[in-house]
Structure 1
Amino acid sequence: MIHAVLIFNTSGVPRLTKFYTPIHQAPQALVEKIYSLVSQRPAGLCNFLDAPELDTFLKPKDPKTNAAAQKLRVVYRSYATLYFVFVVDGAESELGILDLIQVFVESLDGAFENVCELDLVFHFDEAHHILAEVIQGGLVLETNVNEIDRAVQDAAKARKESFASANPLSLGGGGAVGSRSAGLQTPLNWLAGRLTGVGAR
């Protein structure tokens, strides 16, 4: 199971945090602990490590579950100024999670055209939506980048249509047949008409 997905920059400032299991301490303390584990590792080492230090932060172990399956691991990849970190248990394959990080980054790239730190700051809602297309409740839903991109584009289109139909003064309304804004001009069309004299009395 995936317990957490974190993105933070090289200074340790979190840019996206998503927890799939309850935590006992402040999320910021967990981010700082993971950052201290990841940032001190030399570049030549592998991209996953055992993290028994995180046991105190996450949900207590179920005595009925295999102890090996409960062992927490941190799997991460560094892209430019960002660390993409997944906290997983023994049921997940480390190499599979590395591939999943790559899928997530490619999906972000598709949505933002070369994703950077500012995209995650100013479009955090879309970044969370992309993550939700990949992972739900700590389980992997989709790994096909094209399917993820299609779902994100469909949701964005539905959002725009919903906004345009609910707001007759929106610039994208256009007065489509059957919509609430039918027959109404957008402010931009009205202003353009006034400036060119077309809409003058």
Structure 2
Amino acid sequence: MGKHTLVVIGISIALASQQIAFAYPRQLTDQDIRSAVEYGTSRKGSDLVSDGHPNFIKVPRALAGFIVVYTPWLQIASIAQDAATEYRTLTQDEISRTLSMWQGKLKVVVALVEQREGRWYDGHAVWIQGAKVIQPITKSGHLLRVISCRTNPCFVMGGMIFTFPDDNLDVTSGAEFVIILRGGYAEYRVNVPLGLLR
């Protein structure tokens, strides 16, 4: 076996170990849960995630917009943040209920600014990864707030919430999150590095 062959094998092993290290956990360990609770508690009085966090991703080509991908870890962080905000202790029962509800699922919260109200009420979204297309199991849309009415129609921010099964996603890799408004009137594509999500 030559020197170059050994180098290639070494690189392949390193990449494989990197992928495993960066896969978000579908089944949370006790250590994962502790880190999620610590993170959520530390976010008291702040947004749970913001620009720079791997689960917060801006939507390209939109007037303004972002998505937040809620993994089971971030769901635990969210209820820990709620408990800290309310000056109470997070209970094991709350953690167990959250894990039971969200393990094996991804919730994606979408916020988009459009110059017309209502385009998101019948909005749709899918995950695309290679030849696989994953459809949502639940979805909803609503008006968040009016941004500006200096023009007609007004600029408004709408929100959508989607829930997906994650069992067919390779969580060590990337995937494309596609947002479709008004039966295809507008389409936004967001590249999501699943392996970097918390």
TM-score range normalised by the length of the shorter chain: under 0.3
* Greater C-alpha Rg: 1
**TM-score normalized by structure 2?**
0.24
Q: Higher strand proportion, which one?
A: 2
Relative contact order (alpha carbons < 8 A, sep ≥ 6): 1 or 2 greater? 2
